[in-house]
Structure 1
Amino acid sequence: MEDLLTVARTIYRPLECRPDSYRGWYQQGQLRWLEGDVDEALLCYHRALEYYPTDYWAWYHLAMAHEKLGHVDEAIAAYQRACAIGPENYWSWYDQGCLYMEALHVYTQAIACFEKALAAQPNDYWAIYRQGECWRLLGRHDRAVATYDRALEFRPGDYWCWYRRGDALLAWGKPETALTSYDQALKAKPQDFWAWYQRGNTLESLGDYPEAIAAFTKALIDAPEDAEAWYAQARCLAQVGNYQKAFESLEKAIALDPLTYFPQAETADYFAPLRSLVPWGNLQQLVQPNQP
């Protein structure tokens, strides 16, 4: 940081007498980037590249600036120029892959970029994990699980890898195995809402309603305002015949999101016994509170 402050104090004078200084424009771009002035940084990188058009780092930082400003196509083009100049550099391949994955949802291209990044850094957890994510989002659950397994060799306690591995296994039709992944995720984050919630959904799909209820209860400790979890818990409570508790959970779900869950509750077979209870009319009041 001290070096950059020195640059800040001295950069304008040399630029006044040497307007063709690549180094001056590049350093000014770096300084503007650190200050959060991304538009100015972008202009500086462009000027630097006018004088040194084959510089890897100027193209890479230009791409980062475009990405920060939401210029996705320009960022991709700049990352590609950086990759052409420095094909063995990890960062331009990895960041380009993230952009294809997260902004463009072009998962096959993202996988190819991550593969190039891994050629530079074969043991990089994040490139492997993101490859797994792309395979999962493509519906290639077998490839996703195999890739998550490879990532876990480098970070065996990583929450997200275990959690997404569970999601892939669940979508693949392997709920029992998915449970083991969610359990591993919970070892990393014992109070995590999503892992408990997915554990509850998985147990419900297996017909283990008591354990599902317990999992939803744990999930709701972390996110008591989550209507979907209350509704899922009510559904499981109704399945085991605990109608009073089911009604209480359903009431909370409808209070939080009446337009979604009251119509569902009115037609769901498992809530048929609840609809004969006297308090059922109270749920209607949650949807239309001004009606007598």
Structure 2
Amino acid sequence: MSNVIPMRRAFSHTIYKMLESRPDSYHDWLDQGHGLRDEGRYREALTSYDLALEYKPNDYWAWYWRGDVLDALGHFEAALDSYDKALEEYPTDYWAWCHRARVLRELERYEDALASYDNALIARPEDYWAWYNRGRVALEDLDLYEVAIASFDKAIEVRSDDYWSWYRKGDAFRHLQRYEDAIASYDKAIETEPQDYWAWYRRGDSLRYLGRLEEAITNYDEALTVKPSDPWSWYKRGEILRCLGRYREAITSYDEAILSNSDDGYAWYNQACCYALLGNIQSAIASLQEAIRLNPIEFQDFAKTDPDLANLRGFEF
């Protein structure tokens, strides 16, 4: 990096000198914009691209790179206008459609982003990134789970061992409550990245929904091997153990969840239930008081009718 920046600075300085003698040079303004952009000097780069466009108003490259620096500056509406101008000149350009889709996603115009990826795929129908990102928009922003699965399948045709496409395909199946299919997709993700936390964690969720509770615990354990302080895996592990009547083990899992996130009212509350069911009234009250401190209205109401806490009736909490 120390070698690159001085070279870029020298380059930009040279262009400035050239522009003093040839201020109407489109190519020099464009090149200066590139140098400034590479240095992260986006506002100055924007000025250079604007000046290039004064001399060549319909130039694809100046509009495209102008969109790029506006995107980097967080000026998404203006970036979108620049990509649209670029596409007027080169309507089949893959990169402009892809960058346009990314900006539309930032603007929360998700259906338009999906349509932009469709146009990118007209230019490059076998492109992994367009299919993958199309799937992400469908999955994460539009809840179009079948569309997402179809997109990830196309991405997987190009990169059969791609962890993220398999993982997110699993998420789409999970949202559709197709848990066996979700597990199969997570398995493929784990083949590629056996130490990944998320695939083990979500595989555990899918097993839990199928009622395969012991297997789910094993998966949460795998997730915790990767991320030992994760409160969610500890909490869900505790929930399963509580449902299985293994209250002492559940209490230990809730302790670990609380250690990582002391503001988790549900961990405190469910731990109180386990203590109460074991007849440990003092510890049950202590955990319940912590839950109520975090959310007085909800947990006080729960405690009044919860049969797990029946032996606490009459105590102050």
TM-score if structure 2 supplies the norm length? 0.85
Match among 35, 41, 49 for residue 5 of structure 1: 35
The residue aligned with 2:95 is 57
The residue aligned with 1:91 is 129
- Match runs of 1:115-126 below 5 Å: 115-126=153-164
**Per-residue CA distance 1:114-152 (angstroms, 9 max, x = gap):** 111112222111111000011111111101111101100
2:300, 2:70 → 1: CA distance?
53
Residue 24 in structure 1 maps to residue 62 in structure 2: yes
2:193, 2:273 → 1: CA distance?
37
2:142, 2:294 → 1: CA distance?
33
Match among 249, 274, 277 for residue 239 of structure 1: 277
Gaps of 5+ in 2: 9-30, 38-44
Gaps of 5+ in 1: 284-292
The residue aligned with 2:208 is 170
Match among 234, 244, 260 for residue 222 of structure 1: 260
| Aligned residue identity for 1:98 | R
| Aligned residue identity for 1:179 | I
| Aligned residue identity for 2:252 | A
Match among 15, 39, 44 for residue 77 of structure 2: 39
Deviates further, 2-11 or 110-119: 2-11
The residue aligned with 1:263 is 301
| Cα gap change, 1:272 to 1:11, in 2 (>3 Å) | closer
1:210, 1:157 → 2: CA distance?
29
Superposition RMSD in Å = 1.5
Q: CA deviation at 1:6?
A: 4.4
| Aligned residue identity for 2:35 | L
Match among 120, 129, 140 for residue 178 of structure 2: 140
Q: CA deviation at 1:5?
A: 3.2
Q: CA deviation at 1:10?
A: 4.4
Q: CA deviation at 1:231?
A: 0.5
Q: CA deviation at 1:166?
A: 0.5
| Cα gap change, 1:53 to 1:196, in 2 (>3 Å) | same
**Per-residue CA distance 1:202-241 (angstroms, 9 max, x = gap):** 1111111110010001110011111111001001111111
**Per-residue CA distance 1:57-76 (angstroms, 9 max, x = gap):** 11111111111111112111
1:71, 1:147 → 2: CA distance?
29
TM-score if structure 1 supplies the norm length? 0.92
Deviates further, 177-186 or 265-274: 265-274
The residue aligned with 2:139 is 101
The residue aligned with 2:14 is none
1:114, 1:209 → 2: CA distance?
41
Q: Percent identity?
A: 43
Q: CA deviation at 1:18?
A: 1.7
The residue aligned with 1:187 is 225
| Cα gap change, 1:251 to 1:10, in 2 (>3 Å) | closer
| Aligned residue identity for 1:242 | N
Match among 147, 159, 162 for residue 197 of structure 2: 159
The residue aligned with 1:290 is none
Q: CA deviation at 1:174?
A: 0.2
2:261, 2:216 → 1: CA distance?
22
Q: CA deviation at 1:95?
A: 1.1
Q: CA deviation at 1:36?
A: 2.3
